[in-house]
Structure 1
Amino acid sequence: MSTADALIARAARHSGRWLVLLAFTALAGAAAELLLPMALGRALDALTGTPVSGAAPNASVPAAVVFVAWLVALVVACDVLGVLASGVSGAEAAQWLRRRVTARVLAAGTTTTRRFTTGDLVTRAGVNVEEAARGPEAVVTAASLVIPSAGSVVALVLIDPLLGATLTAGLLVVLGVVRAFMHKTTVAASGYQEAQAEIAARLVGALAGARTIIAAGTQDQEVHRVLAPLPRLREHGLSLWRLHARAGVQAAVVIPLLETAVLAVGGLRLAGGHLSMGELLASARYAVLGAGLGSAVGYAGRLARARSAARRIDRLLAEPALPYGSRRPAEGRGRLELRRVSVRVNGSPLLSDVDLVVPGGCCVAVVGRSGSGKSSLAAVAGRLLDPDVGSVLLDGVPLPQIGREHLRRAIGYAFERPVLLGATLGDAIGFGLPPERRDGTSPGNGLPSSGGIGPGWRSAAGRVRAASQAACADAFIRLMPGGYGTPLSGAPMSGGQVQRVGLARAFAQAERVLILDDAMSSLDTVTERQVSRALTGSLAGRTRLIVTHRVATAARADQVVWLDGGRVRAHGTHESLWNDPDYRAVFQGAS
């Protein structure tokens, strides 16, 4: 069994009791359909005066008719319940798959986003999950079609072996059609889904740059660029329709011929006195029931698309999640050590043999030209990304050995373009904080009246307010209609205000190390100076690693690390490095 088929099997196990109900109704309906032709034949024989099971004709007529009515009612009930169970079981399977895909994408972190575009990830977690979730239902329904067909062969053999042989020969032809159709459909569906993902990836990129596109007046060019894979999508789509049409035509030709052949043989056997009228009627019904295997073409197509989608999902699930240990960080002030750290992406080096020690409580600025590896250094320092070579330690403990909760409480991040998560502004700043701190204080027990976000501020609400004050965000948040309770969707903010909220989130979370990845680039000079005072004041007890392009920020840091081509070119105080003209050139054009 392939990994994609195994994934569909696991989705089936997580479909809940509804898939079991679907299987039960499919089996019960198939059994009722198998009994119905024989029951109709016996009822016809009873009505025409042919003895049924040795009983008098008149006595067996009511029982035969009632039995037929019960079977018809059972078939209808099974169809109704089957439709309901099919929909709910598919929804349950999709929910399980979507949870698993989302969890793996977030657990793998930046590794996944480097390998897959955002649009591709959305397509796999959306359309592909829905298609794969239909796989279990397609398997159960297709399998249920085999039962009437196989049962029809057995029933015809019992009625007349020649009829059974005729039906068997026709069903073998139908199975050949279904098998060829499924193989070709899987290939075409894979190409269709890949083209879908490419269009989605281009569209997401265009939406992210919508302002630039409008400003440049390039809407028409972008439409052509986004829809460039459309001819390929159309071709794969037409290929799928052609395959369906060809298989449908083949089934439409084979099935009537099969039914005609069974009826012709049955007529000859009736003329020879080997069959009764009731048996001929039953044979005709069994021929139709057996030929129902031709409808498996539709379910085979659904299963083929499900398998193709499951392959795409499986490739995503194969991405390794970032593993965590169980240790707590050792006692310390946030000493960071990078030992011969190297990072490569698609074979290109981003960092090479970086050795760096950031003393606990020290403020270190990381500078360098674009592409020098600053963001990669910030990523490995807080374990958003594991280095390909080397190790990173926090207070003497390798980061992979520290438990996730302990590591994420110890290190806080702020980014150049923060994404705000949560329902309100207060939620966005406190995102990731536990609802209660160590002294049991819960949010809502009161807010601090003055600055400082050290260990004394235990409540989450207190940390949120104090962090906002340090990030110079408290003043404009108070002016919002609902203050900290203002919904994010109703809080219009400038780029600098969004960046301040992102800084506040990092300040509230970090207990030992604060990493700012160009997180003050959108702040005006006055605000940047105020935030810098907080970094050297109320936040001075934490280790601060600040990626910056601003000379003033580098000048305020205790130490500066100068990166060039993914390597540490020099480190020291800003004053000592300023004598190097190449160092001064790093800040040309920066404020």
Structure 2
Amino acid sequence: MQDDNQQLEQMPKGATGRFIRLVRQAKPSGWLIAAAATLSLAGTVASLFVPMFTKDLIDGFSMDSINRTQVIILVSAALAQALAAGFSIYLLNRLGQHVVANIRDRLWKKLLVLPIPYYDNHQTGDTISRMTNDTAVVKGLVSDHTASFLTGIISILGSVTILLFLDWRMTLVLLAAVPLTIGIMVPLGRRMVKIARSTQHETASFTAVLSQVLSEIRLVKSSGAEDIEYRRGHEGISKLFGYGVREGRVQAMVAPLMSFVIMMLLVVIIGYGGVRVASGALTAGELVAFLLYLFQIIFPISQVSTFFTQLQKTVGATERIIATLEVPEEDPHAGKEVLDASQPIRVEGLSFRYAEEGEPIVSDLTFTIPTGKVTAIVGPSGGGKTTLFSLLERYYTPTQGVIRLGADAIDTFSLKSWRSQIGYVSQESPILAGTIRYNIAYGLEREVSEEELRRAAEMAYADLFIRELPEGYETEVGERGIKLSGGQRQRIGIARALLRNPNILMLDEATSALDSQSEGVVQQALSNLMAGRTTLVIAHRLSTVVDADQIIFIEKGRITGSGTHEQLLESHDLYREFATQQLRLNEIGNEADSQ
């Protein structure tokens, strides 16, 4: 991937050159290109001989003059042209599919190693459009238009060359229409390119809206936002409709104007050719051949113009693909292995802000997370607790300061090795569409035995509800685990963490979204998970942090207190207020449960 990026940096500045280089990096098959080009050339050359045979046939026409050889040659030429064209189209389609598959593979590999900040700044639907729509445009040019362009150029040059030998005067009359055709096609082609690029941009925006709305359809419905989202979608549909109408308007001008030019050209050629036939300067067969060659020039001209329009559209798509491929990426394997994770984690002078000119989210954090102990992070919302977890996961790079495992800065370890040491359970454990088995074992490259799976589920208290399901571990959970309750999703997340057997555990509000009954079960599961592990907990509930070995209180990104629960009750006013509020809430909850 890095080699590809270096090659992209060395591309010519021209957009067309960048497109060509991108296709070359897709490593299209040399023999496919050669075979397709050869067949296209052979088919076009064969088609150029047909009018000459027709000329001889007409000039010497009589029932007696028709012989089997002429008929066989004529039919063979037509058949050869058809077969060559068919095989060429197939090979170019295969070539186009190979190119687009390679580009999509590179994009997919790239998307998986792009850092989290990229996804913070780009909508998912827009990224999906790069993978699907833009690569399909590239495929269309390679498969559908390149063959027409190559054969069209050959057909035009070959036909004009033959016509100059056949009758140079009539050929000059024919060529006089070229400036008129260019005068029509060039400005209309430019307008078509602008429309095509705007259509691509709007298609990406519309895809982003669809992805966002459909992925959060329950929020849409619970918020009664159907009408609002309909208007957003309708706006995108209307814009696409407008671009489509504008494209149709241009095409409505191109087709009649070209038909008019062709009709006038035919009238002039037939009229002038008739005069020359009458004067004996031209035979009837030569006039027919001239007309046949004329058609072999007219149709390829439209194919060539279509190619250039599609090329401009493809260049626009290529620019967006290359922009994604050029984004700096993470290398999950760069760095050394974590050999001993059972060491204290030291946070030293840690500061971070999301933007260079933005407000700092955390400032000058310094503390130690002891090995095998529980450290709780407490404080008001928006204080930087979750950001601290993101820095520990290395989703972001600190603005200042360093996090160490023992004596080593964590950024000296490979991402794969470092993250494999961490088990992360969030407020709502992410669940993917698939089976319960798939979700518990997700991310593990090794084969997971049935015994390991069940043991992890039992320790997470997930086996209790899994056994009650008709299909057990093979139960489909639906998109984002919608068929499971919040407590069930949390227990699957805990089972996933247990199966990974991490040395470091991070719990981000793991029970705050649950009812008291589910919380009790999940808390027992978490106790199994935390046993003997270095644990970092973000929590708002007093029951979660009261037994912690160490509590760090963070306000507005700064540490304002640290110690045990008893120590902070005595020394920290805001923590004392926090604890008092939690006790009141617990009393209210207990009263409600007793009633």
Pick one of 153, 162, 174 that aligns with 2:169: 162
Q: Tell me which amino acid in the other structure corresponds to 1:368.
A: G
Q: Which residue of 2 aligns with 1:451?
A: none
Q: Which residue of 1 aligns with 2:54?
A: 40
Pick one of 351, 354, 357 that aligns with 1:344: 354
Per-residue deviation, 1:346: 8.1
Distance of aligned partners of 1:348 and 1:256 in 2 relative to their CA distance in 1, 3 Å threshold: farther
Q: Which residue of 1 aligns with 2:573?
A: 581
Per-residue deviation, 1:149: 1.0
Q: TM-score, normalised by structure 1?
A: 0.84
Pick one of 22, 27, 36 that aligns with 2:41: 27
For residues 135-168 of structure 1, the C-alpha deviation after alignment (integer angstroms, 9 at most, x for no partner) is 2122343232111111111111222333443444
Query: What is the correspondence of 1:241-252 to structure 2 with a 5 Å cutoff?
Result: 241-252=248-259
Distance of aligned partners of 1:512 and 1:24 in 2 relative to their CA distance in 1, 3 Å threshold: farther
Aligned partners of 1:48 and 1:390: how far apart in 2? 97
Q: Which residue of 1 aligns with 2:113?
A: 107
* Partner SS for 1:432: coil
Per-residue deviation, 1:497: 0.8
Aligned partners of 1:266 and 1:332: how far apart in 2? 91
Pick one of 129, 153, 156 that aligns with 1:146: 153
Q: Tell me which amino acid in the other structure corresponds to 1:516.
A: L
Pick one of 565, 571, 587 that aligns with 2:562: 571
Q: Which residue of 2 aligns with 1:452?
A: none
**Contact 1:467–1:507 (Cα < 8 Å) also in 2:** yes
Aligned partners of 1:395 and 1:14: how far apart in 2? 49
Per-residue deviation, 1:538: 5.4
For residues 45-86 of structure 1, the C-alpha deviation after alignment (integer angstroms, 9 at most, x for no partner) is 34369xxxxxxx94x843332211112112222343344445
Q: Tell me which amino acid in the other structure corresponds to 1:290.
A: I
Pick one of 432, 435, 438 that aligns with 1:421: 432
Per-residue deviation, 1:432: 1.3
Matched, 1:185 2:192: yes
Query: What is the correspondence of 1:345-360 to structure 2 with a 5 Å cutoff?
Result: 345=355, 347-349=357-359, 350-360=361-371
Query: What is the correspondence of 1:150-229 to structure 2 with a 5 Å cutoff?
Result: 150-175=157-182, 177-229=184-236
Distance of aligned partners of 1:346 and 1:549 in 2 relative to their CA distance in 1, 3 Å threshold: farther
Q: Tell me which amino acid in the other structure corresponds to 2:474.
A: G
Matched, 1:131 2:123: no
Per-residue deviation, 1:288: 1.1
**Contact 1:503–1:519 (Cα < 8 Å) also in 2:** no
* Partner SS for 2:157: helix
Per-residue deviation, 1:431: 1.0
Aligned partners of 2:280 and 2:539: how far apart in 1? 98
Aligned partners of 1:567 and 1:28: how far apart in 2? 76
Distance of aligned partners of 1:512 and 1:580 in 2 relative to their CA distance in 1, 3 Å threshold: same
Q: Tell me which amino acid in the other structure corresponds to 2:204.
A: A
**Contact 2:345–2:404 (Cα < 8 Å) also in 1:** yes
Distance of aligned partners of 1:478 and 1:580 in 2 relative to their CA distance in 1, 3 Å threshold: same
* Partner SS for 1:99: helix
Aligned partners of 1:366 and 1:547: how far apart in 2? 5
Q: Which residue of 2 aligns with 1:507?
A: 498
For residues 482-506 of structure 1, the C-alpha deviation after alignment (integer angstroms, 9 at most, x for no partner) is 3223333498310221122122212
For residues 424-452 of structure 1, the C-alpha deviation after alignment (integer angstroms, 9 at most, x for no partner) is 2122111111225xxxxxx44x62xxxxx
Per-residue deviation, 1:415: 2.6
Distance of aligned partners of 1:294 and 1:171 in 2 relative to their CA distance in 1, 3 Å threshold: farther
Q: Which residue of 1 aligns with 2:397?
A: 386
Consecutive unaligned residues in structure 2, runs of 5 or more:
1-13, 587-595
Q: Which residue of 2 aligns with 1:555?
A: 546
* Partner SS for 1:468: helix
Segment of structure 1 superposing worse, 290-299 or 82-91: 82-91
Per-residue deviation, 1:205: 3.0
* Partner SS for 2:530: coil
Distance of aligned partners of 1:233 and 1:369 in 2 relative to their CA distance in 1, 3 Å threshold: farther
Q: Tell me which amino acid in the other structure corresponds to 1:343.
A: R
Aligned partners of 1:187 and 1:302: how far apart in 2? 11
**Contact 2:26–2:103 (Cα < 8 Å) also in 1:** no
Matched, 1:541 2:548: no
Equivalent residue pairs, number:
561
Distance of aligned partners of 1:167 and 1:427 in 2 relative to their CA distance in 1, 3 Å threshold: same
Matched, 1:521 2:512: yes
Per-residue deviation, 1:274: 3.5
Aligned partners of 1:41 and 1:64: how far apart in 2? 12
Segment of structure 1 superposing worse, 179-188 or 109-118: 179-188
* Partner SS for 2:469: coil
Distance of aligned partners of 1:389 and 1:79 in 2 relative to their CA distance in 1, 3 Å threshold: farther
Per-residue deviation, 1:328: 0.6
Per-residue deviation, 1:384: 2.8
Q: Which residue of 2 aligns with 1:370?
A: 381
Matched, 1:402 2:413: yes
Aligned partners of 1:146 and 1:559: how far apart in 2? 77
Per-residue deviation, 1:513: 1.8
Q: Which residue of 1 aligns with 2:467?
A: 478
Q: Which residue of 1 aligns with 2:68?
A: 62
Pick one of 113, 122, 128 that aligns with 1:116: 122
Segment of structure 1 superposing worse, 254-263 or 35-44: 254-263
**Contact 1:338–1:354 (Cα < 8 Å) also in 2:** yes
Per-residue deviation, 1:333: 0.8
Distance of aligned partners of 1:496 and 1:62 in 2 relative to their CA distance in 1, 3 Å threshold: same
* Partner SS for 1:286: helix
Q: Which residue of 2 aligns with 1:495?
A: 486
Q: Tell me which amino acid in the other structure corresponds to 2:234.
A: L
**Contact 1:369–1:586 (Cα < 8 Å) also in 2:** no
**Contact 2:114–2:328 (Cα < 8 Å) also in 1:** yes
Q: Tell me which amino acid in the other structure corresponds to 2:54.
A: L
* Partner SS for 1:344: coil
Segment of structure 1 superposing worse, 498-507 or 409-418: 409-418
Per-residue deviation, 1:32: 2.0
Segment of structure 1 superposing worse, 581-590 or 110-119: 581-590
Q: Tell me which amino acid in the other structure corresponds to 2:132.
A: G
Pick one of 262, 267, 272 that aligns with 1:255: 262
Q: TM-score, normalised by structure 2?
A: 0.83
Matched, 1:411 2:449: no
Aligned partners of 2:377 and 2:183: how far apart in 1? 66
Aligned partners of 2:578 and 2:82: how far apart in 1? 77
Per-residue deviation, 1:469: 2.8
Q: Which residue of 2 aligns with 1:237?
A: 244
* Partner SS for 2:354: strand
Aligned partners of 1:374 and 1:336: how far apart in 2? 16
Report percent identity of matched pairs: 26
Q: Which residue of 2 aligns with 1:5?
A: 19
* Partner SS for 1:370: coil
Per-residue deviation, 1:507: 2.7
Q: Tell me which amino acid in the other structure corresponds to 1:309.
A: A
Let me know the Cα RMSD of the aligned residues: 3.3
Pick one of 316, 321, 326 that aligns with 1:308: 316
Q: Which residue of 2 aligns with 1:280?
A: 287
Distance of aligned partners of 1:75 and 1:415 in 2 relative to their CA distance in 1, 3 Å threshold: farther
Per-residue deviation, 1:185: 2.7
